[in-house]
Chains A and B, each alone.
Chain A
């Protein structure tokens, strides 16, 4: 068997077998009982040479409509944003992407420092004291926040707004089942968490109140009121936030959030059919030792030189095993690096400008659609997404849009029964005025 990834030659093998003192490789497998031995070869597709495989998979990829080729108005948690070219150049440096978790700090200072910078940027955006090195995604980060809250408050009930991403709520329910946590959904009114319902549901058994900011409908949730409801009963106040929106929105930390989670996908991470993205997890100083996953801290070497290490590891599975704060081991480090590069490139001014453009363009699109006679479902202020009502199935409209080079919005009727024929429209800074106008016109036409 000759293969470009397998360097052993026949003479290597012979010398090695001699050194071991066996006559064949097969002998090394004699400890596998005869009864469970797999004989023969797998029934799989035969190996394909590099150029042929490249061609085959390129053709397969070409079967998918992608957002380089289409103008996308689809968001719902995954967005088409400006990804500076430099991002991919940095994460393609193989010293980063072919390294493992930085267990040996002396030869991993690059990764450790990059994560330390990532933690700092997430703190800056969210207005929190401490951020970890990343989570799998926004959904599992939210579930971990609920578990942390239950542990911290010793209470077993969490309230989650119906305006939180439906898939994140699904993930939360699965985790909650394992932990024996009760999940109660708080209904919405005019597109935001219904405060009256929230106030009547929250009580001394509530571990956490969880909202999303901006919420799944794009609406800017009244965090100040939610905070009062949560803290009034001693519950944790948990916010899932789109970090790019925090370029222009008051950060959850300012409203007294205890835990802020979310996904850094808007910063330079491609949609990739839903993953890998990059969950983040930020807390107040008080909760520092309860955080799941890895944390990088600053320290010194023997000569007093600054350096970075994985720290507060007594929280983690490799030390605490079944008493760990979470089971997470591998995280999304490379995507945290990508997000760091994108946040750095945007910088203090760019993140504001980018967020502002999202706000402005989405607002422009809303107005353009109104002019076409399309209903805007919720009046409340929104960031870069909003909900429209059509008088035919969203699926049909989207099929028509596709023919015009447009990927339409998300069909809310799939999850919210009361929002049949409603579309969640996302307008990022990537959409040009022409694209928005075309979208509005096409939707208007198919609407009639």
Chain B
């Protein structure tokens, strides 16, 4: 990576240059002013770039070189499950019969697509232990909101309008309380105990007949399995609430425990984590939701059904929460997830979880002598370390993260979850080899040593990237959110 400014595409623009190839208009051309109302024909052209095709390719190739993906190197970003994104998935998703079909075509012309969706739903039902699955939500947060809206509809259908609260642990991902708010609930936080698990006494204290649901990630965001899950389910169900499973961490328990068997009523999955939908630099994802039978009437419309050997969409769902997204979800991501599940099979999925957990525990044990380990027990697919010890030396977790960049690694998730000081959340995933883990461990050990001996090396990192640490305060104080042509 060279330390050089990469011009904006707008700065490369030259009047008269083109990068497109449209056929000549083969119908008579009329004056646009004749076809459109007065005042509705655009006068000033939008300032889009004028560049050649090679300009475009060079520009984006240069940009890609300034970006780190899983294919570039190790990416142990906790809670994000940055595993390998298989290439067959990309090929399948680009087949004409899957990429170039319109969502409003008549059903008989898209039976193959519907069959794939249906079979994916069946697979996800088995994997989660739920009774029905909808593929509509576009991402995890969207799934959370969809699930909560269903819980709300369930309570209301029972004439129960006072369930205004959703409980979330202090270790919960930010989308949990945010989704609860969008669904119209108030959030109540339940504390984690010394052991990193939800404090049962605190949970008993916060639940009552106004509790609509408890949202839980299991294993939680510390990578710890909530062992008291059955007691928690009892507490919530005891007051008539529902138990919601944030499935972002399913990679830790596939084939070992199913949310449906743990007492969960609603589950969302992030197909862009466990099921290899590529993250795309921030999306698109897919966040299917699974429910138990008593919530099925509230599923979003339309519901995919199989009738007389034909797949079709059922819109006659009087108790449905309604539509949550135009059309049927992020089909293209669902195709990739389906391809992955079919590539792994049941034995493969079991091995995925086993190796993900083995990799995490191995790294945790090898790093434990050098960093603080707040929870000394087996982790699941990820674990947290605390940079407390290094902080005393004047080296913050942020510095450690930046120093890792010099070794060619994407750093772990940092400062999350919020209940661990100077937190580093590390998730290696099962697709990484022992050699990769060992090399990363060595880098971390070296950084721990540097923190003691030459702290400035860590404090001033990164040293090798195309750009140094950026002034985020300036960005927020004087926001420049678009390019403006200099006059």
Contact = CB atoms under 8 A, between A and B. Distances in A.
A136 B332 CA distance: 13
A140 B41 CA distance: 28
A107 B358 contact: no
B182 A178 contact: yes
A403 B359 CA distance: 56
A201 interface: no
A372 to B, nearest CB: 16
A309 interface: yes
Nearest to A67: B100
Interface residues of A, number: 203
Given A275-B328, A329-B141, A95 B272 contact: no
B97 A61 contact: yes
A96 B282 CA distance: 10
Nearest to A399: B106
B342 interface: yes
Interface in A21-67: 21-22, 25, 27-33, 35-38, 41-48, 50, 53-54, 57-58, 60-67
Contacts of B468: 106, 301-303, 305
B161 interface: no
A138 B332 CA distance: 17
A286 interface: no
Interface stretch (B111-119, B201-209, B235-243, B388-396): B111-119
Nearest to A306: B5
Given A64-B109, A86-B53, A111 B281 contact: yes
Interface stretch (A154-162, A204-212, A226-234, A429-437): A429-437
Contacts of A22: 361, 378
A168 B416 contact: no
A391 to B, nearest CB: 20
Contact of B329 (A275, A321, A357): A275
Contact of B97 (A41, A66, A170, A294): A66
Interface in B81-125: 82-86, 88, 90-106, 109-113, 115-116, 123
A308 B144 CA distance: 30
B346 interface: yes
Contact of A110 (B64, B175, B255): B64
Given A136-B142, A174-B321, A327-B182, A113 B8 contact: yes
Interface of B is mostly: loop
A46 B346 CA distance: 6
A321 B177 contact: yes
Interface string A341-374: 1011111111111101101110110000000000
B347 interface: yes
B321 A53 contact: no
A66 B149 contact: no
Interface in A195-209: none
A31 B378 contact: yes
A109 B282 contact: no
Given A36-B261, A93-B64, A321-B174, A41 B39 contact: no
Contacts of A139: 323, 325-326
Interface in A109-135: 109-111, 113-114, 116-117, 119-121, 123-125, 129-131, 133-134
Given A113-B63, A328-B141, A350-B19, A64 B40 contact: no
A356 B25 CA distance: 9
A302 B474 CA distance: 12
Contacts of B433: 7-8, 12
Q: Which 8 A-B residue pairings sit nearest by Cβ, starting from the closest?
A: A274-B327, A47-B345, A334-B280, A61-B97, A274-B103, A63-B112, A333-B282, A110-B67
20 contacts: A60-B112, A61-B96, A66-B99, A69-B96, A78-B102, A93-B64, A97-B279, A100-B82, A101-B283, A106-B405, A106-B469, A136-B283, A171-B325, A298-B475, A307-B467, A317-B175, A328-B141, A330-B282, A333-B280, A432-B26
